[in-house]
Structure 1
Amino acid sequence: MEAYKRWVRRNKDYVHSMESLANGLTWLLPERFSDSEIGPEAVTSFFGIITAINEHIIETTPTQRVTGQAETSSFPYSLCITLLKDLETLVEVAAQQFYGDDRKWNFIAATEAIKVLVRLAMIKNSGYKMLLRGGETVYVEKGLDAVNYSKQRHGELVDPRSHNLKNHFQQTPWNLEGKALSALSRFGENARMVSERTWLSRVQHQHAIMEPPTLMVEKPSLSAFLSEKGVPGGLFVMGEVMFVIRPLLYVLLIRKYGTRSWFPWVMSLGVDLIGNGILSAVAVSRNSRKGPLFYLSNDERDELKRRKLLWALYLMRDPFFTKYTRKRLDHTRKLLEPVPVFGFFAEKLIELLVGAQTRYTYMSGS
């Protein structure tokens, strides 16, 4: 196993290329979306699992580990989530073939329940941070993000513009204020260096060489987090939990009411809208004395945008797909059918979309 890890890490570009090619070719397998064929989905799941394991090996290369990483536990939560997502489609197809369309939802619900438990554990392990890509990406504190979060936890005012002030004055030498502040800064630094004792400087230098400065972000417990953040903190956790449990709730409602009912579709959309709305509102809420109560990193802001983009999948879920989207796709296919080349590719693309829509896991957004 160690030899395989070394090979993957040395040839990561080649591994990525082969994985992309293999995963792309799986969409062209015959009877990919057949009701009775497990083989194509087994092949797809196999390549997905191999890709996930290789990515995990590359990301855990000892020389690439990043200080302040949230996932310090030995249990690979992100890898577990990715493997579950790769296996979920195979579980769905196998359950449909052996147990029928109705009973397959029991197995899908069990898979979603396991994903919920892993994601909740991952939220707790990360210190109640936002899940990135549903937990497939490990949250990492980066530079200014970690500093701001640390200051925020100790009640200091965080101004996202403050770190640019020094650069601003340095980059505008013709600015009189810049010249003055730059001169004062240099004078203060020189005075401090002269006043320092020589032996202390040497000790500090030796420590800096032997032990590079690291930024350790403390992970609060749930009670400490709620005590520190108050009601907004509770709302933040509730919004994240709603995002986690939404797929399981959706499957359980489909299991009870069926895919033709509007109730699961509306309830799932409602949970998504409310949960995302809570996260967005809490993230920009302000305290009159301490500024923003929650600092969102660039990755977290991108994650909120990604979750909003996932709402487009509701167009591909029944009963909306059967009643509206399918008609639009058929109309588009008829319009483009006489056009050379474009008509052929449009027909194949629509065929893939219609086939993928029959699989819950492809349109679940979980």
Structure 2
Amino acid sequence: MAVSGNDISKSDPLDFSTPSPSPPSEHVDSSSQSSYISNAPDPRPEIPSPLENVAEKHDVSGTAGMKGINGKMKAGRAGTSWLGIYESFLLKNASQIASVESTLQHLTYLFPGKFRDAEVASEVVYSALGILGLYHDTILANALSSSPLSSKYQPSLHTRYTRHFTTHNAAYKKIAYFLVVIQKTELLIEIMSRKYGGQRGQRTAIVGIESIKAACRLALLQICGSRTLVTPPIPERDVDPKVLDPDDPIALADVGEEDGGYWMMPRTGQRLPQLKEDSDATQYLMKKVLLPDDVVPGRKLIHPLTTVDGRIKEILYILRPLLYALLTLLASRLRESKRFEGHQARKVINWMPWVVGFALEYVCRDGVIDSLSNEGGIRAALTKLTGLEKRELEKRSNSMWWWTLRGQFYDSVTKPILNKMIKKTENIPLLNLAGLYVGDYQYLMETYHFATSTL
């Protein structure tokens, strides 16, 4: 007679007696024989398991009990941790997270100067959303790396490069995220410093923040092996969060594909992309081809600065915001002194910070080209640039336009043009609203240093 699992669990652990064998038969089924052997009691004494109290009823192997324990532990972590609850909520609503963040950030643009201390309220919301966005990026990146979509996901060159250093160097990760948090909150700190410390407190805060940012960038330059710094120094969100939505199978299937729709072949069922223009065919095929930047390690996506001139240019580019802030502080103090009361002297003092800052950024923005041109000239250097280096140089060139909203150039050239445009459109419907908002932002650009900062 075979012994059931309940009889085994309730038997005396010191009882070594075996049950009486079943009467012999002419034909013994192999399945019944294996069942009899598996149900035979173990002659070794049983040792009580600590999982015995939580095992499911009538479960001899304890597998169901172990599953119950794991489920309870996960439920306990999710129930007791607010961060766990928030992460679960975020991933379940990943398709809406990007639109909600964008909407809230754009709402902060609608009320500068509309009521008392409006810039404080708008900047508090903007800074909080910026820091919250960094946390969301971390959650989404971890969820994407552990999902089946990771095989289809092709990160950008910037993400590959920054992820290499953030994952392989703890110091780089801490400094880079600290630098980004400073950039998200610098304008708020300046506004609060002016509110409670006046212009003197504002100037001190500007110089202090620029000094911290410059020190962080110099440290990152050393960690990266004297390579051109990228902006921002952390991985960006280069994938739509809706692909992580488990309730959106279309988004899961089409991740990494074109958004122009598909044409399904009637016989084979194979899908082909619908290209709107002939030039799209070249772009589509280029995305299917492996380029040198796609196979090199992330570290080699930017060349190290091997020449002294290239390193000096990059260091001066990093120090340029701090030098501009110091020159602005010096110019303000010189204007307040009585030794420079002449019209010509004041004009030179007013233009000095803008001219020096603009010249430094224009000359030092392409230190990598100067470093690569040491072997074959500028033309050879341009052919050696990687895709990430070209992207960074393009961003630096585009940021030069912000100098039209800074310093004496803004006061002498840009501001009169904006005032004329506002005056001409003040009686035109709809256009007068645009002029009203431009006038509100003029207060920010004229009053605060970090309202036009790009580095």
TM-score above 0.5, yes or no: yes
Tell me the equivalent position of 1:319. Answer: 408
Q: CA deviation at 1:5?
A: 3.7
Indicate if the aligned counterparts of 1:250 and 1:268 stay in contact, CA closer than 8 A: yes
Q: CA deviation at 1:121?
A: 2.2
State how far apart, in whole Å, the 1-side matches of 2:226 and 2:383 are.
12
**Whose helix fraction is larger, Structure 1's or Structure 2's?**
1
Q: CA deviation at 1:7?
A: 4.0
Which of residues 171, 177, 180 is equivalent to 1:79?
Answer: 177
Corresponding residue SS for 2:428:
coil
The Cα offsets for residues 197-219 of structure 1, whole Å up to 9 and x where unpaired, read as xxxxxxxxxxxxxxxxx965678
State how far apart, in whole Å, the 2-side matches of 1:107 and 1:311 are.
24
Uncovered stretches (5+) of structure 2, i.e. residues with no partner: 1-82, 239-284, 290-294, 336-348
Indicate if the aligned counterparts of 1:284 and 1:294 stay in contact, CA closer than 8 A: no
Distance 1:11 1:269, change over 3 A: same
Tell me the equivalent position of 2:128. Answer: 46
State how far apart, in whole Å, the 2-side matches of 1:218 and 1:48 are.
27
Which of residues 350, 363, 372 is equivalent to 1:274?
Answer: 363
Distance 1:98 1:7, change over 3 A: same
Tell me the equivalent position of 1:92. Answer: 190
Indicate if the aligned counterparts of 2:320 and 2:360 stay in contact, CA closer than 8 A: yes
% identical equivalent positions: 21
Distance 1:32 1:60, change over 3 A: farther
The Cα offsets for residues 25-80 of structure 1, whole Å up to 9 and x where unpaired, read as 11223647967963332222222221222223323543459777233223344432
State how far apart, in whole Å, the 1-side matches of 2:115 and 2:229 are.
31
Partner letter of residue 246 of structure 1? Answer: R
Q: CA deviation at 1:273?
A: 1.5
The Cα offsets for residues 127-170 of structure 1, whole Å up to 9 and x where unpaired, read as 333222253557x9xxxxxxxxxxxxxxxxxxxxxxxxxx99xx
Q: Comparing both chains, which one has the higher relative contact order based on Cα–Cα distances under 8 Å and sequence gaps of 6 or more?
A: 1
1:134-283 equivalence runs, <5 A:
134-137=232-235, 216=297, 229=306, 231=307, 234-258=308-332, 261-283=350-372
Indicate if the aligned counterparts of 2:228 and 2:368 stay in contact, CA closer than 8 A: no
Distance 1:48 1:271, change over 3 A: same
1:338 equivalent to 2:427? Answer yes
Indicate if the aligned counterparts of 2:207 and 2:326 stay in contact, CA closer than 8 A: yes
Partner letter of residue 349 of structure 1? Answer: V
Partner letter of residue 324 of structure 2? Answer: Y
State how far apart, in whole Å, the 2-side matches of 1:135 and 1:40 are.
25
The Cα offsets for residues 339-362 of structure 1, whole Å up to 9 and x where unpaired, read as 322233233234324434422112
1:116 equivalent to 2:214? Answer yes
Indicate if the aligned counterparts of 1:116 and 1:244 stay in contact, CA closer than 8 A: yes
Tell me the equivalent position of 2:102. Answer: 20
Indicate if the aligned counterparts of 2:310 and 2:370 stay in contact, CA closer than 8 A: no
**TM-score (norm: length of structure 2):** 0.54
Q: May I ask how many residue pairs the two structures share in their alignment?
A: 284
Indicate if the aligned counterparts of 1:78 and 1:137 stay in contact, CA closer than 8 A: no
Distance 1:363 1:34, change over 3 A: farther
Partner letter of residue 257 of structure 1? Answer: A
The Cα offsets for residues 99-150 of structure 1, whole Å up to 9 and x where unpaired, read as 1112312112111222122222222333333222253557x9xxxxxxxxxx
State how far apart, in whole Å, the 2-side matches of 1:310 and 1:217 are.
25
Corresponding residue SS for 1:27:
helix
Q: CA deviation at 1:4?
A: 3.3
Tell me the equivalent position of 2:7. Answer: none
Q: What is the root-mean-square deviation in Å for CA atoms of aligned residues?
A: 3.5
Tell me the equivalent position of 1:222. Answer: none
Partner letter of residue 273 of structure 1? Answer: Y
Indicate if the aligned counterparts of 1:336 and 1:346 stay in contact, CA closer than 8 A: yes
Uncovered stretches (5+) of structure 1, i.e. residues with no partner: 141-166, 172-213, 220-224
Distance 1:126 1:32, change over 3 A: farther
The Cα offsets for residues 270-308 of structure 1, whole Å up to 9 and x where unpaired, read as 1112202544444455439xx659942212212111111
The Cα offsets for residues 239-286 of structure 1, whole Å up to 9 and x where unpaired, read as 222221111111111122229722111111111122025444444554
Q: Which moved more, 1:117-126 or 1:56-65?
A: 56-65
Tell me the equivalent position of 1:306. Answer: 395
1:129 equivalent to 2:234? Answer no
Indicate if the aligned counterparts of 2:111 and 2:122 stay in contact, CA closer than 8 A: yes
